[in-house]
Amino acid sequence: MCSRRIGIVSADGDLLREAISSSWYIRDKRFSVSVVEHFGEDVISEGGGCVPGVEEYGLILVDKDFPSLSLYLEKSIPVIYIGCGSSFSKPIRLRDLIEVISFYMREVYPLVDSGFFDYKKRVVYDKNVRISVTEKEAEILRYLIISKLRNKNDLLRNVWGYHPDSLTTTVESHMWRLRRKLTKISVDLSMVESLGDHA
């Protein structure tokens, strides 16, 4: 199950935490919302105290104007960007942000255009079509959505648990089948296609 911890990395972190924490959805689901001040090697300093490492967060909200995002880009953890150049430019509409948070915490990921990917139910759908994916295809899709590291070696290591130098065509085979399925639905295939080009 997805962790119930939500971290916020922003100069306006306290205001965001207060606004998000007051939401009925967040209170009803008893999610923990924290302002993250500094990420270290093993622990996070939060208001002077120590909390678990970044991997124990279910979701991180990151202000694009905040310095040093390299750690988030290397972790397989969902990140919602806010601020200039993101889907949530300031001033942020809290209701829209809470709606996206609710999707991510249920592991239902909004895709580009109008589609969604439900990781637990292993389906990709839009308002007209619903497509089932295999367990491995679901793992691939989730990794592509969450991670910023998208090439064959990363998939072999993080989805299959293989050594990056393994001689196998399993990535190409799975990506080919996944692309065929996703062409039936109105979602942006650039994420899958770009990986296929470098697989």
- pLDDT value of residue 198: 42
Query: What are the structural domains, with CATH classification, of the chain?
Result: 5-106 (3.40.50), 116-198 (1.10.10.10)
Place of tokens 């997805």: 2
- pLDDT value of residue 196: 46
Q: Give the span between the Cα atoms of 181 and 7, in whole angstroms.
A: 34
Please give, one letter per residue, the 3-state secondary structure of 11-49. Answer: CCHHHHHHHHHCCHHHHHHCCEEEECCEECCCCEEECCE
Tens digit of each residue's pLDDT (9 = 90 or more) over 7-56: 888 878 888 889 999 998 888 888 889 887 655 443 333 343 444 456 67
**Share above pLDDT 70 across residues of the chain, in percent, rounded to a whole number:** 73
Q: Give the span between the Cα atoms of 74 and 38, in whole angstroms.
A: 16
pTM for this entry:
0.66
- pLDDT value of residue 136: 92
Say whether pLDDT at 148 is over 50. yes
Q: Cβ neighbours of residue 95 under 8 Å, at least 6 residues apart?
A: none
**Share above pLDDT 90 across residues of the chain, in percent, rounded to a whole number:** 8
Q: Give the span between the Cα atoms of 12 and 26, in whole angstroms.
A: 19
- pLDDT value of residue 122: 93
Q: Which residue has the higher pLDDT, 155 or 73?
A: 155
Q: Which residue has the higher pLDDT, 53 or 120?
A: 120
Say whether pLDDT at 129 is over 80. yes
Say whether pLDDT at 175 is over 80. yes
Rounded mean pLDDT, 83-90: 76
User: Mind giving me the DSSP string for 50-107?
Assistant: EE--GGG-SEEEEETTSS--HHHHHS-S-EEEESTTSSBPSSP-HHHHHHHHHHHHTT
| 33 residue type, one letter | V
